[in-house]
């Protein structure tokens, strides 16, 4: 199957899901299907996403179901059954946002904003002497009111800068979770693994990547789905939904943990310098092998008005 066929099948799956959910007596109606929902009264829920994956015969549609409660596997396979191996199906537990040393601030450095702890994904020097620290919006507060607020470094480092631009998070749907911090009078290292930052373009299925996060350090993974819509993550007492996302499977152990939000997703190629393809923002609630999720870097740069 070519990628255009996979995109058509992705859309068809979405229509099929809407049809099944609307049928009287459907088993899907027993769950709270969410695009955003209140968590004050927790209960079984299902969040369904559709994207593009890679199967035995090339590209395929990707069906992802995140949630709690029993029967999700049966429900997911009921939805995908007519398409056989043309759909890659995965059912996991809930996922969450991943906010959670003195010296130059660099890609992988720990920071703390009004939203919690996170990671500097990139140090960007688009204007000489005025570096920007790229991270997630939810780390620095998530709303326009965060602009101008201080962001702190690792323990003992003090203030490293102030929020300059933010893409507000929306309950109506999102493409990125991103913000840029104007660095203060601090030392910075704008390289990634000793190389200048290079935007890597769109991700590809099966692409080997890594990230350096403030919590779990340097970990390796592989892109397992692209253009993934409906990625639904816990945020405070509600849920946020993201479309057109990158899904990353771990190669060994865990790929991400709380405090890694904002990490840059970079390529791993023996014959080429690292290229940045994404910005990590969400991952597993439990250390159970659930994938991690990243915004495409081109979408991040566009949302923040940064020349990539």
- pLDDT by residue (tens digit) across 247-258? 999 998 889 998
Q: Tell me how far apart the alpha carbons of residues 37 and 32 are, in angstroms, rounded to a whole number.
A: 9
- pLDDT by residue (tens digit) across 29-62? 655 555 444 444 456 667 788 999 988 888 999 9
Q: What is the pLDDT of residue 133?
A: 95
The percentage of residues in the chain with a pLDDT greater than 70, rounded to a whole number, is 89
- Pairing of β 45-55 and β 217-229: antiparallel
Instruction: Name residues whose C-beta falls within 8 Å of residue 15's C-beta, 6 or more positions apart in sequence.
Output: none
Higher pLDDT, 28 or 221: 221
Domain span(s) for CATH 2.40.10.10 in the chain: 208-304
Q: What is the pLDDT of residue 289?
A: 73
- 273-303 core/surface letters (b: 16 or more CB in 10 A; e: else): bbbbbbbbbbbbbeeeebbbbbbbbbbbbeb
- pLDDT by residue (tens digit) across 54-91? 888 889 999 988 876 667 788 788 888 898 889 999 88
Residues counted in the chain: 308
Q: Which fold has domain 109-188?
A: Thrombin, subunit H (2.40.10)
Q: What's the whole-number mean pLDDT along residues 188-217?
A: 86
Whole-model pTM over 0.85: no
- Domain 208-304 CATH class label: mainly beta
Average pLDDT, the chain: 86
């Amino acid at each position: 199957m070519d990628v255009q066929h996979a995109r058509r099948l992705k859309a068809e799956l979405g229509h099929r899901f809407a049809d099944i959910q609307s049928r009287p007596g459907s088993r899907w109606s027993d769950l709270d299907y969410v695009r955003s929902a209140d968590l004050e009264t927790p209960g079984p829920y299902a969040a369904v996403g559709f994207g593009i994956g890679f199967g035995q015969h090339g590209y395929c549609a990707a069906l992802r179901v995140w949630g709690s409660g029993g029967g999700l596997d049966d429900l997911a396979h009921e939805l995908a059954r007519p398409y056989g191996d043309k759909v890659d199906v995965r059912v996991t537990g809930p996922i969450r946002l991943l906010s959670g040393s003195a010296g130059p601030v660099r890609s992988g450095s720990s920071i703390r904003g009004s939203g919690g702890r996170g990671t500097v994904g990139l140090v960007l020097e688009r204007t000489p002497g005025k570096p920007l620290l790229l991270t997630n919006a939810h780390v620095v507060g998530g709303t326009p009111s965060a602009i101008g607020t201080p962001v702190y470094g690792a323990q003992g480092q003090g203030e490293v800068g102030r929020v300059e631009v933010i893409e507000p998070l929306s309950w109506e749907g999102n493409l990125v979770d991103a913000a840029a911090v104007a660095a203060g009078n601090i030392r910075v290292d704008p390289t990634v693994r000793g190389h200048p930052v290079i935007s890597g373009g769109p991700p590809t299925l099966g692409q080997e990547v890594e990230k350096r996060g403030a919590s779990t350090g340097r970990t390796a993974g592989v892109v397992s789905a692209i253009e993934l819509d409906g990625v639904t993550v816990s945020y405070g007492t509600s849920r946020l939904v993201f479309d057109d996302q990158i899904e990353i499977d771990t190669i060994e152990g865990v790929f991400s943990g709380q405090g890694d939000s904002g990490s840059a997703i970079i390529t791993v190629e023996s014959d080429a310098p690292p290229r940045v393809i994404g910005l990590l923002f969400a991952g597993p609630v439990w250390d159970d092998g659930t994938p991690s999720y990243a915004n495409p870097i081109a979408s991040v740069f566009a949302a923040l008005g940064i020349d990539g």
